[in-house]
């Protein structure tokens, strides 16, 4: 009943003749453009990854890296031993650490991009909105109660972080429901308050801990990437990959959602369902990221913004592109954190805040009053 | 148009009451509204601020839900129709759409194909057919040359045309518009009004629009619905509604009605 397509002949005269021409002229996301965009970004991520592996206190030649990669792929253990220290440095320290950096960066960027569309706020991201600090609070409580034991390794810690993250997301959700047309700045203000609140709670909990543990928690809170075990990495990859897939699946709905909830509903989006799904997935992904890497800010805001300028606003390309660019960005940031003050290491959160903070300020100043609905 | 669409009213509203809050002391936004929108007509919903115009429009689009009474869309109870199915019959043009992200005009118009991609609404590519529909709609609104421009870079009139083009891309039988000419200058107001009438005459599109502009509504609409404090104050042909004895009590001011020199539609003037 619904497909009462109007035959072309009933369209106003003169419109059909030009149609074929502008079919070609109209820019839209085609399969080809998507494949080219994602492939080229994946290639550059790989390239950046290899360069990051090579850089460090003990620099490893790119040739050696490729040789070791070949050996690993062939499962040649004896040959690996003959390479010596380089293979240990690469395979036990740099590679898992790089992998974690990539996963954390890409997850933060994808979650940031999704929240921006959902809240119609180009400055939204888990850190600024206080979702990360909520997750950190949850994880801190979990740590001190001795549930989960260590920050790394398979543990129930992410569950605590998820609960904390979900708690702050619920607050954000309440605010976004209360005000139908939320101003960009109201939401940021809510984030500031949440951040202050959770920081205070974290400080309170940490002050109950013994000094050694407190120091470890403080380092972790600043956002630190430490080489995880491969099993942790694999678990995280599956977890974040599943979350990312859900968000990719909703890409088209996200496109429509940027136009507002009423317009989305009028176009057939099941708004409430999509909204809840995105909030829960965001909390799950942020929880996993925070429990392993602490508070890493601004990646989720800066990366989608930059990608949008180049690749456009369509989330079908924006989300995978943000994942790749975000991953690359954090690989580079972590390499800087690792090497800038060698042998001392900086928390990677310091690097991202120092680069992302000024960009955030610039965006805040640049926003024209009329655009900030 | 399908055969049923020609005979069954596009909307039939019976005993419709609605308020924004269920608290007993809450004012009714709409009270006992009874009305039918015949398919293929242009209906204007007019009335003072807070008279329930936009509420009625949103109820017709299922963006709000009635407290009592029923709304039938082409004979079907609106509550039983899924959002995507509804979106394939009824297209909604909001008063204003925020432009926060760098979508091109073409991408925005293509979003009108969203309801046709259920249940795989999230992912998937725009089929050649989708692009064809969007292109046609843009040609129809004469904005095809702007397809690759950023929405933030086009003028208010072009933006409104783009929103209507997106609605046309939905291939719907009914177009609901919330004050389509509110922020436009005279030229663009006229332009949108002419386009709507053209779409109605040439493609049999049913148009329901909320308008504050009585003169535009008078010239452009086949039927008018005058709301006052949530109730129907008058309905019918513009000549029956645009009358000083009808408008004065509703708008609480002196209203002079004469005839438009060209279209002969009733014309409203308000002495300051």
- In angstroms, the first-to-last Cα distance of chain A is 38
CA-nearest of A271, A244, A268 to A105 is A244
DSSP string for residues in B3-72? HHHHHS-SEEEEEEEE-S--STTPPPSEEEEEEEE-TT-EEEEE-STTSSHHHHHHHHTTSS--SEEEEE
Q: Is residue A33 part of a domain?
A: no
Query: Would you give the DSSP letter of residue B150?
Result: B
Q: Do A11 and B103 touch (CB under 8 A)?
A: no
- Using a CB-CB cut-off of 8 Å, the residues of chain A touching B64 are none
**Ordered domains of chain B (ranges, CATH):** 1-84+212-272 (3.40.50.300)
Q: Do B132 and A15 touch (CB under 8 A)?
A: no
Q: Is residue A236 part of a domain?
A: yes
Of the listed ranges A241-245, A342-346, B31-35, the least confidently predicted one is A342-346
d(CA A248, CA A235): 20
Instruction: Quote the tokens at residue A149.
Output: 């034991």
3 state DSSP class of A360: helix
Instruction: State which of A15-19, A166-170, A341-345 shows the largest mean pLDDT.
Output: A166-170
Of the listed ranges A80-94, B18-32, B46-60, B113-127, the least confidently predicted one is B113-127
At residue A89, the pLDDT reads: 85
The residue written with tokens 């003990």 in the block is A58
Q: Is residue A28 part of a domain?
A: no
The answer to whether residue B1 scores a pLDDT higher than 60 is no
The ipTM estimated for the assembled molecules is 0.88
Confidence tier at A23 by pLDDT (50, 70, 90) = very low
Of the listed ranges A170-179, B35-44, B179-188, B217-226, the least confidently predicted one is A170-179
CA-nearest of A21, A261, A251, A216 to A120 is A261
Domain housing A228: 100-366
- Using a CB-CB cut-off of 8 Å, the residues of chain B touching A313 are 101-103, 107
The answer to whether residue A296 scores a pLDDT higher than 70 is yes
Report the residue count for chain B: 272
The residue written with tokens 């080219």 in the block is A36
* A178-209 pLDDT per residue, tens: 765 556 677 778 888 899 999 999 989 888 88
Instruction: Choose, out of B117, B135, B153, the residue to mutate when testing the contact with A (most A CBs < 10 Å).
Output: B135
Q: Do A312 and B121 touch (CB under 8 A)?
A: no
Closest Cα of chain A to B109: distance in Å? Answer: 11
Confidence tier at A4 by pLDDT (50, 70, 90) = very low
Q: Are B124 and A38 a contacting pair, CB within 8 Å?
A: no
d(CA A235, CA A27): 39
Closest Cα of chain A to B49: distance in Å? Answer: 20
Q: Is residue A87 part of a domain?
A: no
Instruction: Choose, out of A3, A4, A317, the residue to mutate when testing the contact with B (most B CBs < 10 Å).
Output: A4
- List Cα–Cα distances, A337 to A105, A184, B189, in angstroms: 14, 32, 58
Number of domains in chain A: 1
The enclosing H or E element of A102 equals: helix A95-118
Q: Are B47 and B250 a contacting pair, CB within 8 Å?
A: yes
The answer to whether residue B5 scores a pLDDT higher than 70 is no
Q: Is residue A8 part of a domain?
A: no
Instruction: Choose, out of B88, B101, B110, B168, the residue to mutate when testing the contact with A (most A CBs < 10 Å).
Output: B101
At residue B117, the pLDDT reads: 79
Return the axis-axis angle of helices A95-118 and A271-293, rounded to nearest 10°.
Answer: 150
At residue B167, the pLDDT reads: 94
Residue from the list B63, B87, B132 with its beta carbon closest to the beta carbon of A262? B63
Closest residue in B to A268 (Cα) is B84
d(CA B98, CA A367): 14
Q: What is the mean pLDDT of residues A112-120?
A: 92
Closest Cα of chain B to A146: distance in Å? Answer: 41
Q: Is residue A357 part of a domain?
A: yes
Closest Cα of chain A to B242: distance in Å? Answer: 31
The residue among B117 and A322 whose pLDDT is bigger is A322
Of the listed ranges A31-40, A240-249, A313-322, A363-372, the least confidently predicted one is A363-372
Q: What is the mean pLDDT of residues B91-120?
A: 86
Instruction: Quote the tokens at residue A92.
Output: 């036990």
The answer to whether residue A139 scores a pLDDT higher than 80 is yes
CA-nearest of A73, A62, A209 to A146 is A209
Q: Are A5 and B137 a contacting pair, CB within 8 Å?
A: no
The residue among B194 and A2 whose pLDDT is bigger is B194
d(CA A130, CA A165): 8
The answer to whether residue A128 scores a pLDDT higher than 60 is yes
- Using a CB-CB cut-off of 8 Å, the residues of chain B touching A187 are none
Cβ contacts of B135 within 8 Å, gap of 6 or more: A19, A22, A23, A26, B144, B147
Closest Cα of chain B to A239: distance in Å? Answer: 20
Query: Would you give the DSSP letter of residue B127?
Result: P
The answer to whether residue A40 scores a pLDDT higher than 60 is yes
- Using a CB-CB cut-off of 8 Å, the residues of chain B touching A2 are 85, 88-89
At residue A19, the pLDDT reads: 41
The enclosing H or E element of A184 equals: helix A184-207
At residue A173, the pLDDT reads: 78
* A212-240 pLDDT per residue, tens: 888 888 888 888 888 888 988 998 999 99
Q: Are A333 and A101 a contacting pair, CB within 8 Å?
A: yes
Closest Cα of chain B to A351: distance in Å? Answer: 27
Instruction: Quote the tokens at residue A54.
Output: 């090579």
Q: Is residue A354 part of a domain?
A: yes
- Please report, for the domain that includes residue A312, its CATH number: 1.10.3470.10
Mean pLDDT of chain B: 89
Chains A, B: CB pairs < 8 Å: 174
Question: In chain A, what percentage of residues exceed pLDDT 70?
Answer: 87
Q: Is residue A335 part of a domain?
A: yes
Instruction: Quote the tokens at residue B175.
Output: 């177009």
- Using a CB-CB cut-off of 8 Å, the residues of chain B touching A16 are 136, 139
d(CA A329, CA A128): 18
Closest residue in B to A32 (Cα) is B125
Cβ contacts of A266 within 8 Å, gap of 6 or more: B61, B63, B87, B90, B91, B92, B94
E strands, A115-256, in order: none
Q: What is the mean pLDDT of residues A360-373?
A: 60
Q: Do B147 and A312 touch (CB under 8 A)?
A: no
Describe chain B by its helix, strand, coil percentages, rounded to 5: 40, 25, 40
Sign of CA dihedral B142, B145, B150, B152: negative
Instruction: Quote the tokens at residue A115.
Output: 């929240």
At residue A323, the pLDDT reads: 97
Question: In chain B, what percentage of residues exceed pLDDT 90?
Answer: 67
DSSP string for residues in A260-289? -HHHHHHTT--HHHHHHHHHHHHHHHHHHH
The enclosing H or E element of B188 equals: helix B186-203
pTM comes to 0.87
Question: In chain A, what percentage of residues exceed pLDDT 90?
Answer: 40
At residue B197, the pLDDT reads: 93
* B227-262 pLDDT per residue, tens: 999 999 999 999 999 999 999 999 999 999 999 998
* B77-89 pLDDT per residue, tens: 999 999 889 999 9
Tell me chain B's radius of gyration from C-alpha atoms: 19
- Using a CB-CB cut-off of 8 Å, the residues of chain B touching A306 are none
């Amino acid at each position: 009943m619904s497909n009462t397509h109007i035959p072309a002949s009933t369209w106003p005269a003169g419109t059909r003749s030009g149609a074929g021409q502008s079919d070609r002229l109209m820019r839209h996301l085609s399969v080809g453009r998507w494949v080219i965009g994602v492939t080229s970004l994946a290639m550059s991520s790989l390239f950046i990854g290899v360069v990051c592996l090579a850089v460090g206190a003990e620099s490893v030649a790119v040739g050696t890296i490729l040789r070791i990669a070949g050996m690993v792929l062939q499962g040649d253990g004896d040959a690996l031993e003959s390479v010596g220290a380089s293979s240990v440095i690469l395979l036990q320290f740099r590679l898992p650490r790089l992998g974690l950096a990539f996963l954390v960066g890409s997850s933060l960027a994808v979650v940031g991009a999704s929240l921006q569309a959902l809240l119609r706020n180009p400055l939204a991201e888990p850190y600024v909105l206080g979702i990360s600090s909520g997750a950190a609070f949850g994880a801190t409580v979990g740590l001190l109660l001795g549930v989960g034991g260590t920050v790394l390794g398979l543990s129930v810690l992410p569950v605590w972080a998820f609960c904390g993250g979900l708690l702050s997301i619920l607050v954000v959700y309440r605010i976004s429901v209360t005000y139908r047309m939320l101003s960009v700045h109201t939401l940021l203000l809510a984030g500031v308050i949440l951040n202050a609140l959770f920081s205070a709670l974290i400080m309170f909990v940490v002050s109950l801990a013994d000094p050694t543990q407190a120091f470890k928690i403080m380092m972790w809170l600043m956002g630190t990437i430490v080489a995880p075990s491969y099993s942790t990495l694999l678990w995280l990859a599956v977890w974040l990959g599943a979350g990312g897939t859900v968000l990719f699946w909703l890409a088209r709905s996200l496109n429509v959602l940027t136009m507002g909830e009423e317009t989305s509903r009028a176009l057939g989006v099941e708004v409430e369902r999509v909204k809840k799904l995105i909030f829960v997935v965001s909390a799950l992904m942020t929880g996993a990221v925070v429990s392993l890497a602490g508070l890493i800010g601004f990646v989720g805001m800066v990366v989608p913004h930059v990608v949008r300028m180049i690749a456009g606003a369509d989330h079908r390309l924006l989300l995978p592109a943000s994942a790749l660019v975000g991953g690359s960005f954090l690989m580079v940031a972590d390499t800087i954190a690792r090497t800038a003050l060698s042998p001392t290491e900086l928390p990677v959160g310091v690097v991202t805040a120092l680069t992302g903070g000024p960009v955030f300020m610039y965006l805040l100043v640049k926003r024209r009053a009329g655009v900030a609905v | 148009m399908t055969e049923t669409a020609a005979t069954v009213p596009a909307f039939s509203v019976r005993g419709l009451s609605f308020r924004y809050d269920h608290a007993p002391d809450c004012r009714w936004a709409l009270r006992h509204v009874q009305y039918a929108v015949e398919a293929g007509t242009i209906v204007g919903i007019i009335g003072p601020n807070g008279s329930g115009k936009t509420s009625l429009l949103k109820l017709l689009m299922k963006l709000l839900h009635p407290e009592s009474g029923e709304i039938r869309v082409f004979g079907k109870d609106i509550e039983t129709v899924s959002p995507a199915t509804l979106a394939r019959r009824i297209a909604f043009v909001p008063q204003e759409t925020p432009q926060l992200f760098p979508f091109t005009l073409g991408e925005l118009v293509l979003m009108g194909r969203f309801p046709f991609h259920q249940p795989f609404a999230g992912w998937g590519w725009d089929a050649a057919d989708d692009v064809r529909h969007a292109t046609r709609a843009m040609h129809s609104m004469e904005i095809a040359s702007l397809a690759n421009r950023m929405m933030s870079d086009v003028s208010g009139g072009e933006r409104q045309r783009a929103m209507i083009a997106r609605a046309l891309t939905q291939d719907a039988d009914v177009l609901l518009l919330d004050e389509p000419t509110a922020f436009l200058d005279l030229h663009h107001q006229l332009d949108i009004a002419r386009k709507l009438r053209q779409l109605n005459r040439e493609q049999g599109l049913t148009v329901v629009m909320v308008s504050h502009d009585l003169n535009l509504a008078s010239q452009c609409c086949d039927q008018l619905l005058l709301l006052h404090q949530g109730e129907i104050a008058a309905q019918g042909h513009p000549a029956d509604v645009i009358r000083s004895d009808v408008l004065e009590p509703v708008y609480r001011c002196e209203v002079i009605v004469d005839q438009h020199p060209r279209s002969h539609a009733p014309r409203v003037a308000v002495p300051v």
